[in-house]
Every structure is written in structure tokens, then in C-alpha cells.
Structure 1
Amino acid sequence: MSLRELVVLGTASQVPGRTRNHNGYLLRWDGEGFLFDPGEGTQRQMLLAGVAASAITRICLTHFHGDHCLGLPGVVQRLSLDGVRHPVDAYFPASGQEYFDRLRHASVFHETAEIRESPVAEDGEIAEGEFGKLYARRLDHPVESFGYQLVEPSGRRMLPEALARFGITGAEVGELQRTGSLRFGHRTVTAEQVSVVRRGQRVAFVMDTRLCDAVYELAERADLLVIESTFLEAEAALAQDYGHLTARQAARVAAECRVGKLVLTHFSQRYDNSLSFYEEAAEIFGGEIVVAEDLSRVSVPKRR
């Protein structure tokens, strides 16, 4: 059975708090584990959340501010310590190659895990696999930052009544799914005749940025949008100055882009009431809103 969920490892911004660790998000996607922005303390948070290092197959860094990457050394070393055998692909802004090198080799350790580096230099597709395609888009932040979008290819859902009408049963159904058509004497039945399109799911991950076109491109029709909301609208000018979003802005993106579930995170330490973020977003976005909490799990919504 496939598993698709977001494991929240940390939700703070620049300064962690008593209940909020620095950033860290593991997206479980069937057989893949995408670790986004492992901030300081991620290795311990993984332990508390019951996430093994072997669950990580890809690491995605949006940028090289400390709250988004200082946990990378511990994660990299844990991969080797635990003897993870599969390769782990790492995506990060190419302009920060020097910082990635420092973090990857921050101290002495016996490296056995295979880390395959994939620096991101421009917008577009950066990876493809059974999970679908992974895209990156450059955001608007004081340092170069990229957002990520996971897109599953569309498939087809077989209709039992249509299959029965043509007398297609058992192994014939599987063959039709694989080949796209079946021949019965002089008659050919195509998959389109007995199925409907099943749209692939989408997940978007948007961290530190001002509002820009890339934010909307990443969020478009996302089933799950994980997005920073560092400030409340009362501090909108401050958010603009420092290259961040407010909860209201994040909700506006979700509403305009027809998002399924909105996950707010990356909260400034100045706030001690997370309910305010929910209330502000709910004024704009009528869908499901999650104010992320450390060690919580957020399911990817069912297909729409």
C-alpha cells in the first residue's frame, strides 16, 4: 500500500523556540522520501518522529540560510552511520556549491553512503523517476532560493461497468492497462473506451520568498502546498523587507491556484499564538488549512 504524507520535523524560522525546531520536512511518497530543508536538529527530530535515515532518498535545499541547512551535516553522516545502501540525490542552488561542500564535510567521519549532487542553476525539470517529475523555480529572496514542485504523471482509472460491457476480466484488465488496447477477433478495445483520466497528484514546497510569479507557478493546482508564512499581515512591510510571506499572502496564493490543502509553516519567534495564522488564512482560503506543528503528520489529500 502506498504512503503519501508530510512528516513535519521543524517549523521555526531564524530562531528555534521551545516547541518549534528549525525547519525540516520529510515527504513520504510511495517508495521515495524527499527531505526538504534540514535545519539544525533535524537528525534528532527524525528520531522523535520515528523516521529512519534509510527513508531518505532525496534531499532538497531551497537556499543556504542556516535555519534551512545547518542540519545537513548530521543527516549526511547518519546516512553512512546507518549503512544506507541506496544512493541519495541532493538538490541545492548551484550558487551555494561552496556552502554545500562545507556542510557535507563539516567534520571527520567515515563516509560510505552515496550522495549524488545535483546543483540547480535554472528553472525547470531537475529529476524524473517512478514518482513523477521534480521541478525547481527561482524565488525572490535576498539570497538565491528555489522552490520545488513534485508532479505525478496522469494515469487512467478503469471503469468496472465499461469493462463488463466489453467482457474484459481477470488478466485481460492488466494487459489493457499495460498495452493500451486489446483485440477480440476483428474488434479492438482501447483503454480510453473503458477508463477515465486520473490526474496525477502535485505537491509544492515554497520557502523563503516574497510574492512572485514563481510562487504561483509552483502552487498551481497543488494537492498539498507547504508554504512559509513567517509573518502575520500586520507585519507585511517587514515581510517585504526581509523577503518573506504573510499568512494572508500564502492563503491568497492557495485560493488563486486552486490548492487542495494548505500547510503554513516557518513561523517567526515573535508569535506565540499559532491560531492567529489559521484565522488570517481562513479569511481568504476556504479549503483545508494546517498550521504545522513539530512532529505532526499531514496526509496528502485524496485525488480530486
Structure 2
Amino acid sequence: MKLHFLGVRGSTPAPGAEFTRWGGHTSCVAVLPDGLSAPPLVLDAGTGIRNLAPAPFRGVIALSHLHWDHVQGLPFSRAVDHPEASLELVVPGPEPLELLTRAFSPPHFPIEPQGLRGAVSVTSSGGSRNEESFVLRQAEVTHKGGITVGTRVECDGVAVVYLPDHAPQLGSSAAEELCRGADLIVHDGQFLPEEQALADDYGHATITDAVAFAERCGVARLLLTHHAPNRTDDQLDAVAKEWPDVVFAREGDTVTV
């Protein structure tokens, strides 16, 4: 399984010369099982989904939650808004189409989700589902501001858990269960240890929270994403040097699990 990081920022995009090396787009990861030329699964649809290959996307887009930085790229991706696209949007919460449409409709936006070109269906997340090339399992995790799910992807004999917005320090037994036996955790690492109060206030994790969580789960490989939008390239370079045993997601990178 390969993970292609299309967007690695949290909260808001970070444009400008100070953010080009690590990338300024918000959360989006394309999942490519072995033997496939196009990803059948995309995790989140932040502005990074604009970087998805321009061919029509056919597959599942699983949203962790409905905060702007995880959905705002949907109508701006040529692969998604395409006459030949065929996609299932998996949305946390009951009545998922109604939830998504609250922010994805006039006066907030010119069209509703089903105004996207191509075939679009919207379903509710949770539980397990077996697709042709992967297994998807989701569970609600701790994060402020609405229902948020963690996502476990299994294919090619490995398992990855995607937790881009997660506050393990607030107690997260469902997330720990989701991570059991995983090969890699892709986790929220937006805040530094000295920013713990901010992390708690916004329902996010510090790097130390994420490291402790991975240790509790017995998962050796940890990759941090959802970088703070005000954290410049130079600052992220310095943070990464302080934590040599942790991988920091970089926009455009492909990670093999």
C-alpha cells in the first residue's frame, strides 16, 4: 500500500514562499493498493484534493469530519468534479447528505454536493466495509466541533490508521482499538508540547500526545500530519530535527507501508 500526501496542513491553507517545501494545502491522502494505477480511496478532501490526478476519480472519499479544512477542496478537484467521475462520499454522522449540504450550498457555496458533475452518492460512515481492493473500518474519536471518525485501511496485508484531528489526551479508547495491530498511524501533530493548552482547547494533539498514543497502541511507525498553518518551512525543519524517530508528512511525498 502506498499513501500519497496531497495536503498536510491543518485549519487553513498556508500559501506563500515560507510554506513551499512542506506544502500549504490542507488534509488529503490518496491510498494506492499494489497493482493499481489509480487510487480507489481518498482520505479527506481538503484543498490538497486539487492535486489528485486530473483523470476522473472513481472510488471512495472518506471524510474524517466536516470542518472546512477537510472538505473545502471537493468542488475544486478536476478529478472529482468531472462528468465521468463516480464517487461515494462517506460522511460522519446520521443523514450525511443533509449534514454536508449545510455548508456546501447557497449562500455558502453556489452548488450542493450533488451539483458536482459525474455520479455522486453520499453515505454515512462507521463500522466496517469490504471494497474490492481494501477494507475500511471507522470509529468515532475525540475531537471538538462535531462528529469525527478515525479510519483504518487494510490492504496488501498491512493496516494504516488515519487520525488527522484527534485529542488522545482527552481519552480515546475507540481510537486505541482502531489502532490495534496497525503498521502505521497517520496522526494529528499540529501543536508543540509547549502549546498543550491550545491543543486541549481545540481538541487536537501535541507531538508528545501523539507519540504517547502510538506507544500505548504498540504501533512503532508514527507519521505526523495536520501541521499548524503558521508553522513555516524553517520552523518545521527545526521541529522535525527535534523528533528524529517520528516522520513528518510533506505534501507530495509517497510513503510505502
State TM-score, norm by structure 2. 0.80
Deviations 1:134-184 (A, max 9, x none): 11110111221111001348xxxxxxxxxxxxxxxxxxxxxxxxxxxxxxx
The one-letter code of the counterpart of 2:9 is: A
Structure 2: which 5+ residue stretches go unaligned? none
- The aligned counterpart of 1:42 is 49
Q: Which residue of 2 aligns with 1:54?
A: 56
Q: List aligned pairs for 1:78-93, cutoff 5 A.
A: 78-81=79-82, 83-84=84-85, 87-93=86-92
CA contact (8 A) 1:208 1:244 kept: yes
- Residues 210-219 or 58-67, more deviating: 210-219
Figure out how many residues of one structure are paired with residues of the other and give that number: 235
Cα 1:55/1:259, change in 2 over 3 Å: farther
2:178 to 208, 211, 218: 218
Question: Are the equivalent residues in 2 in contact too, given 1:70–1:103 (CA < 8 A)?
Answer: no
CA distance in 1, matches of 2:249, 2:134: 26
Distance in 2 of aligned mates of 1:223 and 1:141: 23
> Match for residue 115 of structure 1?
120
Q: 1:72 aligns with which of 71, 74, 91?
A: 74
Confirm or deny: 8 A CA contact 1:53 1:82 kept in the other structure. no
1:146 to 146, 149, 171: 149
Q: Distance in 2 between matches of 1:280 and 1:219?
A: 25
Deviation at 1:280, TM superposition (A): 5.1
Query: Quick one: distance in 2 between partners of 1:68 and 1:234?
Result: 26
Q: Do 2:75 and 2:116's aligned partners in 1 also have CA atoms closer than 8 Å?
A: no
Query: What is the DSSP-based 3-state SS (H/G/I as helix, E as strand, rest coil) of the residue aligned with 2:167?
Result: coil
Look up the equivalent residue of 2:82 and give its one-letter code.
L
Cα distance between partner residues in 2 of 1:203 and 1:244: 20
* Equivalent residues of 1:251, 1:281 under 8 A apart: no
Partner SS state of residue 225, structure 1: strand
Q: Report if the CA contact (8 A) 1:219-1:253 is conserved.
A: no
Task: Tell me, yes or no, if the aligned pair for 1:247 and 1:280 is still in contact at 8 Å.
Answer: no
Decide whether aligned partners of structure 1 residues 296 and 210 sit closer, same or farther in structure 2, where only a CA change above 3 A counts. Answer: same
1:278 match: 240
Q: C-alpha separation between the residues in 2 aligned to 1:37 and 1:208?
A: 11
Match of 2:254 in 1: 297
What is the TM-score normalised by the length of structure 1?
0.68
SS of 1:6 mapped into structure 2 = strand
- 1:201 alignment counterpart: 158
- Whether the aligned pair in 2 keeps the contact of 1:6 and 1:297 (CA below 8 Å) is yes
Specify whether residues 83 and 246 from structure 1 end up closer, same or farther in structure 2 by C-alpha distance, changes over 3 A only.
same
Instruction: Give ranges in structure 1 of 5+ residues lacking alignment.
Output: 154-199
Question: Which of 174, 182, 198 matches 1:238?
Answer: 198
The 1:66–1:223 alpha-carbon spacing in structure 2 relative to 1, beyond 3 Å, is same
Shift in CA distance, 132/111, structure 1 to aligned 2, threshold 3 Å = closer
Higher relative contact order (CA 8 A, sep 6+): 2
Which amino acid is the alignment partner of residue 294 of structure 1?
A: E
Question: Structure 2: which amino acid aligns with 1:270?
Answer: N
Instruction: Name the CA shift for 1:69/1:94 in 2 (closer, same or farther; >3 Å).
Output: same
Residue 26 (structure 1) aligned with residue 36 (structure 2): no
* SS of residue paired to 1:274: helix
RMSD: 2.6
The share of aligned pairs that are identical, in percent, is 26
- Give 1:65 shift: 0.7
